[in-house]
Structure 1
């Protein structure tokens, strides 16, 4: 089985952090979002993964290498494709055309999920994973028949259709069928707001007699914006207590660490309280501060802050006091 991970988007809702790094590479407790997606799939699927294909945008060589290293980390064949223009989810998947063969999982790189995926004895040509939500008008949803097969897709419906939100995770038993629908979509130039949508290609499959079923995941964590990402980060630390780690090189001087926290090497904590649900990257200095429920990346200096629900990028030097911060890389702000 192959995993295709489209991750070419520019991540506008996650700015300023995505001005210097793609959203899927933002770390949650020390691991990039996309690495966590791969981990979850490898652990949860009842299939062996023989290839991971990433669809990237106009990324630097350094970022491309970081993406390539992810596949190598799992000792799985890695392919990297480029989406030439931001023309939608269907266009992004088709960019990985050479890998659209046999059984394929398509997993978009801004969503985390927890479930056991049993693909044995599946009587369908595809699966779309969903999550029941209280506010379906804010999501793309599916309409099902009595057998649990998808009949139609609706994007942010004003009238109630169903509460089964599409989470961005799909299975195809034969990706060649999907490929034909993707080509048909583009040949017909069927766009929504200037983009080719994957759900429209799936609608072609359904109209041609192919069966796509919906399955619910146990839990879905969106990483689309700062607040959602911090919720995902908190759930990671809650769900995987073994990942709450404080590196042995961390120096505490009159400081308290309230678990769960993830703190990397060569961090100095002085006269501070850190945690719960805090990640701190390497080579940071935190002094005279109280920090909860936050992600702090590498080489950050913070003093005299009292913050919660905050994200702070790399190489930030900040000396002030606010309840909540959202600061990108290479920023300096002092009183």
Structure 2
């Protein structure tokens, strides 16, 4: 099996955190988004990981060499931004006869047993992983027939033709044939707002007789914007470990992940907080937040916050002597 990971997106919805790093290297629940994704692919025994990168590709290469030195990886730069299908097509030279292919987009951390792919795909040609949602108007959805085969894909439907949202996780048995269909789609100029998208490719496959199905994943964890990144942090911390960071005279309210190399002193931390290595939290209260590496937080009250790398955030504790019938109002948690 080959795996293609398009990681060339700018991550504009996650700015300012993506001004200086690839969006897949943003931390959540003690790991980068990319580490969460790659770790879930390891049981598949992947032959080659193919990363489609942009000018931040060096960051991806350095991270993979450090975290997963034994994996067989290749890196291809997408110089022209022509959409997801175009990005995937750049991996064609790495695809050989007999390869099957998994495509994983990095806005989402998935929870699914991918070792079930052979069983799920025993009577079809590919899988477009999905998740049933109530706000179907926000997504591209899969429409199924009575045999559970996909017959149509509708982008942001106005009516509930389907609630099976596509989650950015795709599998095809015949990787060579799939690449050929992408080429046909691009040659036909089937663009949406100036870009080539995979649903057009899959619909072309269906018209040519391919059978595609839409198994549901267990959880769909969006990492594409700050509020959903914090939601994902909360979800992942529920099943995670506290970590091996140092705590001194502090109250820790689980779930919390304090990475080895992080220090918490004289503070209240949690719930739903992850603190990366090299960071120090002192004389502070922190809840529902993500603190990335080598940051320093002192005398602060934080809630619903994301701090990038090497952030220094200092506040001030107050001492008061207040008489009767006084009213003191200070901005704080609501």
- The TM-score with structure 1 as length reference comes to 0.88
Q: Which residue of 2 aligns with 1:54?
A: 51
**Cα distance in 1 for residues equivalent to 2:170 and 2:162:** 19
Q: Which residue of 1 aligns with 2:19?
A: 19
**Cα distance in 1 for residues equivalent to 2:161 and 2:279:** 49
**Cα distance in 2 for residues equivalent to 1:62 and 1:23:** 11
Q: In the TM superposition, what is the alpha-carbon distance from 1:26 to its structure 2 partner? A: 1.1
For residues 129-208 of structure 1, what are the structure 2 equivalents within 5 Å? 129-208=129-208
CA 1:271–1:213 in structure 2 vs 1: closer, same or farther (change >3 Å)?
same
- Tell me, yes or no, if the aligned pair for 1:71 and 1:77 is still in contact at 8 Å: no
Q: Which residue of 2 aligns with 1:245?
A: 243
Cα-to-partner distance string for 1:2-29 (whole Å, 9 max, x where unaligned): 1111110000000000001111111223
CA 1:323–1:60 in structure 2 vs 1: closer, same or farther (change >3 Å)?
farther
1:200 partner SS: helix
Q: Report which of the two structures shows the higher radius of gyration computed on alpha carbons.
A: 2
CA 1:323–1:295 in structure 2 vs 1: closer, same or farther (change >3 Å)?
farther
**Cα distance in 2 for residues equivalent to 1:28 and 1:207:** 40
**Cα distance in 1 for residues equivalent to 2:189 and 2:199:** 14
Runs (4 or more) in structure 1 with deviation over 6 Å come to none
In structure 2, runs of 5+ residues without a counterpart are 317-330
**Cα distance in 2 for residues equivalent to 1:298 and 1:186:** 42
> Which one of the candidate residues 293, 309, 312 is aligned to 2:288?
293
Figure out how many residues of one structure are paired with residues of the other and give that number.
314
Q: In the TM superposition, what is the alpha-carbon distance from 1:287 to its structure 2 partner? A: 2.4
- Tell me, yes or no, if the aligned pair for 2:5 and 2:104 is still in contact at 8 Å: yes
- Tell me, yes or no, if the aligned pair for 2:181 and 2:201 is still in contact at 8 Å: yes
- Tell me, yes or no, if the aligned pair for 2:191 and 2:197 is still in contact at 8 Å: yes
- Tell me, yes or no, if the aligned pair for 1:87 and 1:196 is still in contact at 8 Å: yes
- Tell me, yes or no, if the aligned pair for 1:307 and 1:323 is still in contact at 8 Å: no
Q: Which residue of 2 aligns with 1:103?
A: 100
> Which one of the candidate residues 74, 77, 90 is aligned to 1:79?
74
Deviates more, 1:134-143 or 1:298-307: 298-307
**Cα distance in 2 for residues equivalent to 1:135 and 1:212:** 23
**Cα distance in 2 for residues equivalent to 1:282 and 1:41:** 25
Determine whether 1:64 maps to 2:61.
yes
CA 1:139–1:64 in structure 2 vs 1: closer, same or farther (change >3 Å)?
same
Deviates more, 1:152-161 or 1:54-63: 54-63
- The TM-score with structure 2 as length reference comes to 0.88
**Cα distance in 1 for residues equivalent to 2:57 and 2:185:** 30
In structure 1, runs of 5+ residues without a counterpart are 325-335
2:41 partner SS: helix
**Cα distance in 1 for residues equivalent to 2:237 and 2:294:** 22
1:119 partner SS: helix
- Tell me, yes or no, if the aligned pair for 2:243 and 2:260 is still in contact at 8 Å: no
